[in-house]
Amino acid sequence: MDLPAALRAHRLVAIVRGTDPDAALRTVRTLVEEGVALVEVSLTGRDALDVIAQARAALGPDAPLGAGTVLTADDARAVHRAGADFVVTPAVCEGVAAARELQLPVLAGVMTPTEIVAALRAGACAMKIFPAAQAGGPAYLRALKGPFPNVPFVPVGGVDTTAARAYLNAGALAVGVGSPLVGDAADTAADTAADASVEAGLDALRSRARTFLGVVRAVAQDAS
């Protein structure tokens, strides 16, 4: 897939990291149903490879599906087998080069200019500024855009709706959002999807998804 083009088109990456595999899969499906086209399933979640495989089967072959927290070559090979078609790393690590060997595009975690250069040399096609809030927020992103005007940046970490708008206005190609969007939806176990607490959680997830998508649309309208 053309990851930079997808990031430019959708501007939002949802990060699903759950303690319950069934809940994580429901979360992925619900986000996509609401229009959040780019979803990353973190390997730090329970049975994440199974979640990725089931999500791929449920979403079909053409839906973008990412795997996050890919650190090693074994991680890259495993998520490729599971059906991920893009990789997200928390750092410039072995997983970047291994994913590129498998022809998977990489959103690589960076914080400093030196790490950005290293990630570009390793083959990453977009940079995840992580943790973005601790790195300095939108002001830091603007500073990075000076020496790296053509590098696609995706801030991740502490990105709520207010921060999402600020980062996008500061030049971010997209933003990555975990708990401010997903909440505890990927942790809520239930015997059936009809369980009242699950439905309430999914309703709240849908509402948050619509709010974040509204921010993305508003930024696009302001820029036009």
Tell me, what's the pLDDT at 197? Answer: 80
Question: Is 40 strand, coil or helix?
Answer: strand
Phi/psi region, residue 65 (left: phi>0; alpha: psi -120 to 50; beta: rest), is beta
Tell me, what's the pLDDT at 195? Answer: 73
11 within 8 A of 186, measured Cβ to Cβ? no
Residue-wise pLDDT for 37-96, tens only, equals: 999 999 999 999 999 999 999 999 999 999 999 999 999 999 999 999 999 999 999 999
Check residues 135 and 188 and name the one with the higher pLDDT: 135
95-114: average pLDDT: 98
Residue-wise pLDDT for 210-223, tens only, equals: 999 999 999 999 98
- Give the strand pairing for 86-88 and 153-155: unpaired
Active centre residues (catalytic): 40, 128
Question: Is 122 strand, coil or helix?
Answer: helix
Check residues 42 and 197 and name the one with the higher pLDDT: 42
Residue-wise pLDDT for 138-155, tens only, equals: 999 999 999 999 999 999
pLDDT of 30 higher than 90: yes
> Among 154, 55, 144, 172, which residue's Cα sits nearest to residue 107?
154
Residue-wise pLDDT for 109-132, tens only, equals: 999 999 999 999 999 999 999 999
Q: Which residue ranges form the domains of the chain, and what is each CATH number?
A: 3-223 (3.20.20.70)
Give the angle subtended at the CA of 113 by the CAs of 109 and 118, to the nearest 5°.
60
